[in-house]
Chain A
Amino acid sequence: MIKHLLSMDQLSADQITHVLDTAEQLRSVTDRPIKKLPTLRGRTVCNLFYEASTRTRISFELAAKRLSADVINFSADSKSSVAKGESFKDTAWTLEAMGVDAIIVRHGSSGAPHQLARWVKASVLNAGDGSHEHPTQALLDLFSIRQHFKDFEALKVAIVGDILHSRVARSNVKGLVTMGADVTLVGPPTLIPAQATRWGATISHDLDSVIGDADICYLLRVQKERQNEQLFPSLREYAALWGLDSRRQARMKPDSLVMHPGPMNRGVEISADVSESPRSIILDQVANGLAVRMSLLYLMLGGDRPDSTETVRELTEQLV
């Protein structure tokens, strides 16, 4: 298995399947009276979060604890050394000096986890970097999809919304394309990056022409601050053109699914009734995140890491 998880580019279809299969077995632990395994006893995992997060941080913390690893939470807020001006590098070296085995990092700058991986001996897991990637979200989404569809081959997935700023979209496109799905990116032209044509996805600006054919409609959160950048006229117009309400959902195939990475803006990209409809698997996504993160921690930390010489530099070059 890989030493660092920085980007979905690192994972082949076989490796993704291995992560999901392992998660499948670990998921059953959640149904037992004793929800803990001794596997990573004596290992230390640090959550290093430079951006706000609820579900990702808690999910990683719980995943590590379920495997008996010790967990340190470091949030770069007013109470931390970052408020005193400590640099990212010094924080990394401080954690390294304390002997952590894995650092789970969220950072506002794209590429920050790659940089961190060069500085420390610990495994680095990207929990979201700028508008670049969020690989564990993509893996838990693939896991959630696999619970309903046996095969990714020819599965039609529409990812709708602000593709330009979305790390969730980037990681999901990579993962879905690797697994053989047909991905269509849907949104206003201002929110779809020019290079998206090279990702192996189709591009559309008309949700109504895509929705009837999709097996999965994956809605991205509208980052409300983007409205000030005038990338779309108003939230109301956004909802009318690219939001999923029950009227649009009614045109979807009978066994199709609705997904959202959270947190939701109900009434903007998704209406309240759609988010709570039987075809919505939004809460499954959250629950599955725990199993997928346990799987990654087990596969990446449980052992001597044979691929420890993996070339992070090459990966960083792909970023540009």
Chain B
Amino acid sequence: MARSRAGSELDFALKARVMEAADVRRALTRISHEIVERNKGTDDLVLVGIRTRGAPLADRVANSIASFEAVDVPSGALDVSLYRDDVALRGPRHLESTIVPVDVDGRIVVLVDDVLYTGRTIRAAFDAILDLGRPRAIRLAVLVDRGHRELPIRADHVGKNLPTSAHEVVQVHVTEIDGEDAVLIGEVHS
């Protein structure tokens, strides 16, 4: 989410494709292993993808963990629109469902998102999660970290560090929504 997807498809001028489907798959596999390693197993884990594109990524991490640990880690989706700090600036967004299949009290919540940029989406996600309960810890996994943080937030698990300029736009495509897996970098012309 965040501003990586600012601007419509129309005015997005592609500069480079920085990750292809195989790169995305390998990055998610490595993140899945890191999450389990860091947690010393899958006990109390719950994956929560941030809408829109974090949600399918969280499901894939859950599937990946199931394939090598033979454990089904619960996976949910979080819409943070109602918790954003820019509601008054940017207006109401289209709401999607928030589904967290288990009680988060005492659990390790791993937030999953496509791009980490300013950190403001993650800040909103903290509040959204804390309104659902009191997890023992919240961790963060992102496919792409493009820098330019505006809040003191960092990711625990990163698929790819992607140095960008603030004028650039990073778009993550996922098969479930966009028909392909890829990470694109481009510029928005207004």
Complex contacts, B21 vs chain A, CB 8 Å: none
C-alpha spacing A195/B83, complex, angstroms: 47
Is residue B87 contacting chain A, with contact meaning CB distance below 8 A? yes
A-B contact count (CB 8 A): 49
Q: Contact mask B76-90 → A, CB, 8 Å, 1/0?
A: 000100110001111
Nearest residue, chain A, Cβ from B91: A303
Interface of A is mostly: loop
Give residues of chain A (8-63) contacting chain B, Cβ–Cβ below 8 Å: 21-22, 25-26, 28, 32-34, 36-40
Complex contacts, A36 vs chain B, CB 8 Å: 131
C-alpha spacing A42/B69, complex, angstroms: 48
What is the CB-to-nearest-CB distance from B133 to chain A, in angstroms, rounded to a whole number? 7
What is the CB-to-nearest-CB distance from A154 to chain B, in angstroms, rounded to a whole number? 28
Complex contacts, A67 vs chain B, CB 8 Å: 82
| Interface size grouping (class) on chain B | 10 to 19
Q: Are A21 and B98 in contact (CB under 8 A)?
A: no
Give residues of chain B (39-90) contacting chain A, Cβ–Cβ below 8 Å: 79, 82-83, 87-90
Contact of A298 among B89, B92, B97 (CB under 8 A): B92
Complex contacts, B83 vs chain A, CB 8 Å: 37-39
Q: A25-B79, A32-B131 are in contact. Are A302 and B91 (CB under 8 A)?
A: yes
Is residue B132 contacting chain A, with contact meaning CB distance below 8 A? yes
Residues on A facing B (Cβ under 8 Å): 1, 21-22, 25-26, 28, 32-34, 36-40, 67, 298-299, 302-304, 306
16 more A-B residue pairs beyond the given contacts A28-B97, A34-B132, A302-B91, with a C-beta to C-beta distance below 8 A: A22-B92, A22-B95, A25-B96, A25-B98, A26-B95, A33-B132, A36-B131, A39-B83, A39-B87, A299-B92, A302-B87, A302-B88, A303-B87, A303-B91, A304-B91, A306-B91
